[in-house]
Amino acid sequence: MLLDGKHILVTGGTGSLGQKVVERLLTGELGTPAKITVFSRDEAKQHYMRVRYLNRREVTDEVIYRNFKELLTFRIGDVRDYSSVLQAVSHADYVIHAAALKQVPTCEYFPYQAVQTNILGVQNIVRAIRENQTSVKKVVGISTDKACKPINVMGLTKAVMERILVEANVDCPDTIFALVRYGNVIASRGSVIPFFLDQITNGGPVTITLRTMTRFLLTLDQAVDTVFAAMLHARAGETYIPKVPAARITDLAEVLIGDRDISIQEIGIRPGEKIHELMVSEEERYRTIERDGYYVILPMLPELQVEPLAEPALNSEFSSSDVTLDHESLRELLAPYLSELPAGVAA
């Protein structure tokens, strides 16, 4: 299998996605790695993540290796620091680049910090591979729907990150650089669902920025599925897009509130926030094909175009404004999170 005997580096491995990636890598679904390295700058998160795995005494469906103490390692470092990136990359066979500043308002108030992490960070990974004899076979970068026709700093920096990884294929022919792009991950750290659940638990009101706002929704496992699909099948410069549903944020709040006597309060758009998100733009759709249940955006650079473009998979842009989830569908999707609400009036 792909990862048998390989060394996988996960930057930002203590984040919501990073932890789920590590959990899934440990199941062996892509093969039995020789080593998985979590690379991040937060020693506290690494400590708690390490302790969590050390306390798993029994073999479970999630962690099947008794030798995970040797399999799973942690490295303190910052993607902004080239020397620490070089040390982390030097022995890796595959890199999953999840390290990022991702909170939209934070990036608006600290734009250069977003540039340093989201742009200079990925450039350090590319430079480490380009200027040294590494064994890296593939890098999969984690992007966001906010990088598609960006209007905020987070999206702008992620859009440049995408371009850096695509172009790297020209300079580093022995390594494949690919991307995944997706929307809001349900219940990830800093996402809206934990925020709404906290407001409901405390009696409300539930605050939304705009009643017409829509978002794509996918689970952490769907996000990891997309990453793994890119690891397995992505060619140089390609971007994998999951086919996921979209919902109105108002409907999301209403389903979580259920029959509780809690109001919804509109507070206005936050700095840098979009009303609707795009996964594939009108311009990109002409370079978008379908493969294995995913949309795949082919690279725009002619050096990376390996075959003639077939009929585009999309007739228009892939936008969250095309709402596909009603209350019933949302209730089914959110069932695990509805159970976290306090007992009382039925939801």
Tell me which residues are annotated as active site: 146
Token pair belonging to 49: 């993540």
Q: Compute CA distances 139 → 130, 206, 345, whole Å.
A: 12, 40, 48
Q: How many CB atoms are closer than 10 A to CB 185?
A: 23
- The residue to which tokens 């990136």 are assigned: 85
Report phi then psi at 50, rounded to 5.
-60, -45
Q: Classify 60 as helix, strand or coil.
A: coil
Q: How many CB atoms are closer than 10 A to CB 336?
A: 10
Q: Classify 230 as helix, strand or coil.
A: helix
**AA letter at 64:** I
Distance CA(81)–CA(13), nearest Å, equals: 17
Dihedral-angle region of residue 113 (phi above 0 means left; psi in -120 to 50 means alpha; beta otherwise): alpha
| Length of the chain as a residue count | 347
